[in-house]
Amino acid sequence: MYFAALLARTEDGWEASDTELDDVETLSDLADLAREAAPDEDTVFVLIEQEDSWFGLVRVDGEEDPRIFVSDAAAAARSAYGELLLTDELLGRDPGADDGTDVDSLDLDGTEDGESEDEDDVEETAAAGAVPHGPVGDGSILDDLGISEKELRGLDPNEALAEIAEALGASEVLETVR
């Protein structure tokens, strides 16, 4: 089960709103959705969690590029919402790199006829496109709000959003949209 909400800082404190991500196709769309929730270019968080699996935070401060933290990239990669957050840049890949195989660059060394490849080659190939297990992104995304990178990385995915909201003084407003 998924939960997604916007948490916007205003002059009067934090405001939360439940959000639907079905029409969001890119990180840019998600950032635009967050900016719409902040009338004065204040800080807005997009909070996303998949029960028992992972959570993600997107922080948008005015027109600045969004900052992202994902608690478990491998788990998020298996989710449509997680894929929004796992950009090439976040995963350390070359942006726009072609994931497809270039036929001209194939090494036709006889293994295409059923011979097994060297185990080291198989491991290198798997590692080249693998999504890491564990946290990725900007671990200092909440430093200025009182949650250190160490604390953020140590949060349980089931309780993370509630603990973050509590530390921000926004637990009551977040609970109203949950």
Q: What is the pLDDT of residue 110?
A: 47
Report how far residue 38's alpha carbon sits from residue 152's, in angstroms, rounded to the nearest whole number.
24
Q: What is the pLDDT of residue 129?
A: 61
48 to each of 35, 55, 76, 139, how far by Cα in Å?
16, 6, 10, 16
Q: Which residues of the chain have pLDDT under 50?
A: 100-128
Residue with tokens 């993370």: 160
Q: What is the pLDDT of residue 95?
A: 67
Q: What is the pLDDT of residue 97?
A: 55
